Structure 1
Amino acid sequence: MNNSQQRGPGTDPAVRGSERSQARRAELIATGRKLFADTSYDALSMDDIARQAGVAKGLIYYYFKNKRGYYLAIIEESVAELVIRASSTHDLPPVERVHRTIDGYLRYAQHHQAAYRAIVTGGVGFDAEVIAIRDQVREQLLGAIARGAWGRREAPLLARTALIGWLSGVEGVTLDWLEHQELERDTVRSLLVRGLGDTLRAIEDFDPSCPAPRSPVE
């Protein structure tokens, strides 16, 4: 038996090195999320980021190549959290699922405002890669809604179009709410839930193969 077999796969130096590398990358992303939550993209230099992270600037270049790569990695991580929060409700009854999904979405936006704004408005200027990430979020959310309403992730074209309209409204309402925050989150959630119920009933009127949930989502 050779030395690597005696150590076992869990203690292989290459494995340990990979785990340390992944942990360090995750730490840098966590630091970046905090920094970009309070400061605009243009206002943060790589020197600022390295100083706040307590690392050499070269380490950030090693993991992310440049500032934009670092920013995109942070946005992708934020998107993953948003989708998890908004769609991890499949074991709940349909009405509660809708409330929890929208509440999770609003909670994320409220506590990660800079990342949320970047996701739904396209990032720095008009960033095609951030727009692509935003479209992924929309697809995930549309799939979660379709599964909750009709038991399948794929929605017919008319239903999809109507839900895209509702989701665009959700983004606009959420951005305006973040700007003023004079309404309670529960009030905003109820407003969005009511709008979804109206949208699902309109979809049923046009396409009976997509019946609205019998119990009102309000």
Structure 2
Amino acid sequence: MVVGNRRGEASRSGLLEAGKAAFSERRYEEVSIVDLARSIGVAAGSISYHFGGKRGFYLAVLEAAADEFWSDLVSMRGPALDRLTRGVDKFLDRAIRQPRAFEALIADVADGEVRRIRELHRSRLTDALAVEVTGADSTPVLRAAISGSVSFMEGLVLHWLRTKEISREKVKELIIANFFATVLSALRADPEIELSGRVVEAMTSDSPLLSLFPGLPAAPKPAENLE
């Protein structure tokens, strides 16, 4: 029985991987579940068995892709700015590797089930960024501001994928600059927001972040103890 369960999980896992590849390159209606199942050597009925049909399979693929991105983010370690930069890179990598799935999650808001998956993972990302900024519970103003910044990032990357009018590096700079500008705006709107030490460190005078804000004065360094 254990062997059967393992085989079933391996089959499900293989289908999800094949589905991510298929739905990343083609639209929902262009994907044949019979051809997809045959490509990894399982019966087409396996999709109905594991996911209840093509529709359930599609939603499971989108959720698995979002979960994979989340797992990559939470496993990162290092200074705040470095993790933010690498996180943006992972986001861009995902958009490039899975353009159809990315577009479905970002743009297909008319589909209620897809929208539910999107909102669940957007909320998780927004909450995580807010905690990163404060190191504790965030305020409604900060959560609203960061939610707007996440929307900006999604819209910008979707525009970039469709037009390729600017370079990837410029897209990354815009996302990072917008995020910190959003945090600064939230601070001005809500004096109760207290920045975490990680974020303060990211915004000190030696930080490369300041190159994105040439008009912003350097933050003063703490006064030395002269005693």
| 1:164-194 Cα distance to aligned partner (Å, 9 max, x none) | 1111111110101111234332221111100
Which amino acid in 2 is paired with 1:209? Answer: E
Which amino acid in 2 is paired with 1:180? Answer: T
1:41 maps to what in 2?
Answer: 28
The CA distance in 1 between the partners of 2:125 and 2:175, in whole Å, is 14
Matched, 1:200 2:186: no
The CA distance in 2 between the partners of 1:38 and 1:192, in whole Å, is 25
1:21 maps to what in 2?
Answer: 8
The CA distance in 1 between the partners of 2:44 and 2:79, in whole Å, is 49
Q: Which runs of 5+ in 1 are unaligned?
A: 1-13
| 1:15-49 Cα distance to aligned partner (Å, 9 max, x none) | 22211111110001111111112211112233333
Moved more, 180-189 or 66-75: 180-189
Matched, 1:76 2:60: no
8 Å CA contact 1:86–1:102 kept in 2: the answer is no
| 1:98-134 Cα distance to aligned partner (Å, 9 max, x none) | 21222221121121111111111237xx221211111
1:104 maps to what in 2?
Answer: 90
1:144 maps to what in 2?
Answer: 128
**Pairwise CA RMSD:** 1.8
* Percent of matched pairs sharing the same residue: 31
Provide the TM-score with structure 2 as the length reference: 0.81
User: Structure 1 residues 211 and 185 mapped into 2: Cα distance closer, same or farther (>3 Å)?
Assistant: farther
1:65 to partner: Cα distance: 1.2
2:43 maps to what in 1?
Answer: 56
The CA distance in 1 between the partners of 2:125 and 2:156, in whole Å, is 16
8 Å CA contact 2:145–2:182 kept in 1: the answer is yes
2:105 maps to what in 1?
Answer: 119
Q: Matched residue pairs, number?
A: 201
Matched, 1:183 2:166: yes
Aligned pair partner of 1:92 in 68, 71, 78: 78
2:115 maps to what in 1?
Answer: 131
Which amino acid in 2 is paired with 1:160? Answer: R
Alignment of 1:202-217 (within 5 A): 202-212=185-195, 213-214=199-200, 215-216=202-203, 217=209
